[in-house]
Structure formats: structure tokens, C-alpha cells
Amino acid sequence: MATEVLLMDDVNDLGTAGDVVRVADGYARNFLIPQKLAEPVTKAARARLAKLQEAREARRAAERNAAAEVANRLAAVRCTIAVKTGEDGKLYGSVTASDIAEAVLAEGVEIDKHSIALEGAIKELGVFDVTVKLHPDVQTGLKVWVVEE
């Protein structure tokens, strides 16, 4: 037998918050409802969902604004990383996202190393354009100078 439930959060392969879906009784009773992913379809549940969605949207807007502020601060950052090199300008090791995050932190802007999009580690001297994804809606570019120590 199937039960209709109102999804309170996004559920993979089932739907997004606010959708009314039909699921097996046991799935609703044993998983969705105890995990607070869904509730039985009632007016109270719909009102609670509306409040949750407003709060989520406000939080997302605040996160987007904070990311835009960090992006503006990153525009003024000059990221220079000094590395040891051998003959012919070859690096000992490589420059990774962690190294870039540390160099940016030294300039006074804190970013997560996972938000730095590198195709691979930087293994030579030069100037590199790196994309920093601060939020799904906000990304910025950063110039990284890799120089000899």
C-alpha cells in the first residue's frame, strides 16, 4: 500500500522539498518520517514547510552575499608562492590548492582549499589563472605567481 507524504527536504531519486509523493508505507514510516525528510500531508506540515523554505532561502542569500564579499576581497589579492627549484627551473614537488589557500590566507583572506579549482598540481614557474568557486552562484579568478625562492 502507498502513502502520500510531503517532502520537507530534498531526497535523492524521490523529489525536492515541497513535493507530494507516494511512497511505500514502510519507507515513509521507517525512514522518511523518523529522519524528518517527510511528513504526512496536512495543513500544518505545509505551513512548517513554508517556514523552512523561507529560512533556507534567507540562509542561502546570506551565504551568497558573504561569498560575493570574499570574491571582492580576492580581487585585490596578489598571490605569490616562492618555491625551491632545481636546474632548468624545475620545481621540487608542486604547488597545490593547499599551498594557494595558505598564500591567500597570508594576504588576509580565508578560503577553503576545496573551493580552488585546479586541473592538476602546478609543476613549473610562471603566472597561472586559478578559478575559485566560493558558492554555486559565485566564482572568481585568482592570479597565482609561482616564483623561484
53 pLDDT band, cuts 50/70/90, is confident
88 pLDDT higher than 90: no
Q: What CATH code is carried by the domain that includes residue 120?
A: 3.10.430.100
Does residue 16 or residue 99 have the better pLDDT?
Answer: 99
Q: What percent of the chain has pLDDT over 70?
A: 100
Report the candidate in 18, 132, 134 with the shortest Cα–Cα distance to residue 67.
134
Q: CB-based contacts of 36: which residues, under 8 Å, 6+ apart?
A: 8, 9
Q: What CATH code is carried by the domain that includes residue 30?
A: 3.40.5.10
Counting the structural domains of the chain, the total is 2
Same domain, yes or no: 124 and 79: yes
Of 54, 70, 86, the residue at which a domain comes to its end is 70
